Amino acid sequence: MEATDRKLAIMKVIIEDYIDTAAPVGSRTVSKKFEDGLSSATIRNEMSDLEEMGLLVQPHTSAGRVPSQAAFRIYVNELMSLNGAVSEDERAAVNSFYMCHIGDMENLMKQSASLISAMTKQPALALVPQLRRTTLKRLQIIPVIKGAALVVIVTSTARVKQKVIRVPDNVGDHDLNAISRMMTERFQGQSIADIDVGRIGTSQDSFLMDTDVFRAIEECINDALLLPDGSDILIEGVRNAFNYPENESIDDIKSFWTLFQDRVRLQRMMTDALRHDVKVTIGEENGEDWLKNLSVVTAPYKVHGRSLGSVGVIAPVRMDYARIIESLKIVSENLSKVMTLYISE
């Protein structure tokens, strides 16, 4: 069976109606919305063909039809139009928002996620600038309690990340101070991924015979600061997930909730987004069971061509792709601009 233009046009109408209403679409509805005045009987025949081709699905005999995930893929690739999905006014509003913010990174990312969520009426995710892709501004080791110290790392994107490490008892406050100063001087401006504490350990400074602290710090940086632990993910607008008409049972809500609780998994997903441009993953394409009824759209923000972090939306397969893609593009472009400003100073 061949997918004629008319079939695809009909499918497009069905998809867009379904995105709107979340309810199966009947032939009469399509007939009314379809530009050329085709009768519902004709539409029925075409719809029957589309079903045979695996693009439409009938929940039960006497219901309308629902687009399959394959249909959404075709829609996203070939059928939808991005023009006008986000109005010029909205664009301008977003741009001006990024003009006049004061530079608190964590907050900026949070607001970006909120913004996306507000524009799309869906839950939004943001991955803050990744440490291993930014440079070190300062490293400070602060004694907290006997045997433990706090490592505070400040990055070029004004992110602060902290972690408690154990230190040998024979290392005093003064030593920690000296190490902090030394490491900051040595690694300032370098990529955090490149920090190789070992190199310092072998240096001439003899005030510290014990290299345990260095090893602890290295471990701290590697394991604690660079491994995805879910702290790099911001989630906003989860409440939107409660309004999906297709979710009526509490179990649906629960599974959504557990989804958003698994921050590590989300972080991994959003980190994967760094390797692509705008990326749309529809339902089972995700390959993961927990996402089989959801689609994910992500967009990275970049500095000098290098992806630093990402923003994204996670929503039912019947999301409004055009609007979501455009919203993410706008936000990620703005973020890229702001970040470039930060990094270059």
Partner DNA sequence: AATTAGCACTCGAAGACAAAGAGTGCTAAC
Partner DNA sequence: GTTAGCACTCTTTGTCTTCGAGTGCTAATT
Q: Output the CA angle 150-151-153, nearest 5 degrees.
A: 140
Helix residue ranges per DSSP H, the chain: 5-21, 27-33, 40-52, 69-74, 88-99, 105-120, 173-187, 197-201, 212-219, 250-261, 263-272, 321-344
Among 3, 20, 45, 172, binds DNA (CB under 7 A): 45
242 is a contact residue toward a second copy (CB under 8 A): yes
Say which residues have a Cβ less than 8 Å from residue 239's Cβ, sequence separation at least 6: none
Q: Which entry of a second copy, DNA, none binds 140, CB below 5 to 8 A by partner kind? A: a second copy
Query: Within 13 Å and on the Cβ side, how many CA atoms surround 92?
Result: 3
- Identity at 115, one-letter amino acid code: L
CA–CA distance, 196 with 209 (Å, rounded to integer): 18
CA–CA distance, 18 with 24 (Å, rounded to integer): 7
Site for a second copy in 114-153 (CB under 8 A): 137-138, 140, 142, 144-146, 148, 150, 152
104 is a contact residue toward a second copy (CB under 8 A): yes
> Contact letters (x/-) for DNA, 310-339, by CB under 7 A?
------------------------------
67 is a contact residue toward DNA (CB under 7 A): no
42 is a contact residue toward DNA (CB under 7 A): yes
61 is a contact residue toward DNA (CB under 7 A): yes
Among 39, 95, 231, 258, binds DNA (CB under 7 A): 39
Nearer to DNA, 39 or 190 (CB): 39
Query: Within 13 Å and on the Cβ side, how many CA atoms surround 249?
Result: 3
Tokens of 57: 């699905």
Tokens of 340: 């470039």
Least distance (Å) from DNA to the CB of residue 74?
Answer: 19
Of the listed pieces 23-31, 145-153, 252-260, 321-329, which binds DNA according to CB under 7 A?
A: 23-31
* Positions in the binding site for a second copy (CB under 8 A): 102-105, 107, 137-138, 140, 142, 144-146, 148, 150, 152, 154, 158, 160, 162-164, 166, 238-239, 242, 247-248, 250, 253-254, 257-258, 261, 341-342, 345
